Amino acid sequence: MTPPRTISTVIVEDERPCQDALRALLAGACPEVTIAAVCGGVEEALRVIPRVACDLLFLDIELPDGMGFDVLEGLGDAAPPVIITTAHDEFAVQAMRCAAIDYLQKPVDAIELRSAVDRALLKPASETRTRQLRLLRDHMRQDGTAMEIIALPCLDGCRFVELRDIIRCTAQSNYTEFHLRDKTSLTVARTLKEYDELLTPAGFARVHHSHLINLLHIRRYVKGKGGMVVLADGSEVEVSERRRDEFLARIGL
């Protein structure tokens, strides 16, 4: 029987209670993970991480001498798979969702920790990871309404899609199907609710519990109880009665 792989990790976190809590959770939920080092800030992390074996990085966003993203920029292509830990900073969470970066909100839950570790270790090549981190950094530095690209975690890897190329999104149980301008579709293992929260500020509208549409691609609105929208790909999407007034206000009717 092959022994389980040992995973070496570095924790970058300045608060001692959070350090101790993550240590305890890893010991219980992820026994194959060993902690190579714990760093309290950006400077220490950039000094320590290149000197130790690090298969996985736990990284707090806000540190005493900078931001967690400063660590990632400093490591560049040598950055290992990362799981970001954050307090309830909604803007940071939205940016991480956009970049399809694994994150954990404090206080960290053991089940979510286990899932995040499994996902992080399945991440594709460093080129994709670098692009995700660059996308995350860009979103953290600008207003969320300026978003132009989103990373979509699909079964065959991570796809980077321009928002203007998304015509509509449809709910498929706990999955979301993205319908694109080139007539292809992508299935993502996240709910439509998540993408509603992420994309509505960037020019999308939830018109039905199962449909989120890109306002750029509306070609016609047909009146009715709730009405119906005809989109650029010829699809007809029902507008629910309870969402009609909000939707018509968004499009200026």
| DSSP string for residues in the chain | -PPPPPEEEEEE-S-HHHHHHHHHHHHHH-TTEEEEEEESSHHHHHHHGGGS--SEEEEESEETTEEHHHHHHHHGGGPPPEEEEESS-HHHHHHHHHHT--EEESSPPHHHHHHHHHHHHT---HHHHHHHHHHHHHHHTS-GGG--EEEEEETTEEEEEEGGGEEEEEEETTEEEEEETTS-EEEESS-HHHHHHHHGGGTEEEEETTEEEEGGGEEEEE-SSS-EEEETTS-EEEPPHHHHHHHHHHTT-
pLDDT of residue 136: 81
47, two tokens: 């000094």
- Strands 228-231 vs 218-222: parallel, antiparallel or unpaired: antiparallel
Ordered by where they begin, the domains of the chain are: 7-140 (3.40.50.2300), 146-250 (2.40.50.1020)
pLDDT of residue 3: 46
Task: Give the predicted TM-score (pTM) of the model.
Answer: 0.77
Report how far Cα 67 is from the mean position of its chain's Cα atoms: 18
For residue 252, the number of C-alpha atoms closer than 13 Å in the C-beta half-sphere is 3
Per-residue pLDDT of the chain (253 residues; tens, 9 = 90+): 444 578 999 999 999 999 999 999 999 999 999 999 999 999 999 999 999 989 999 999 889 999 888 898 898 878 888 899 988 667 778 888 888 888 898 899 999 999 989 888 776 556 777 788 778 877 776 655 567 899 998 877 789 999 999 999 999 988 999 999 999 999 998 899 999 999 998 999 999 999 999 999 999 999 988 899 999 999 999 999 999 999 999 998 7
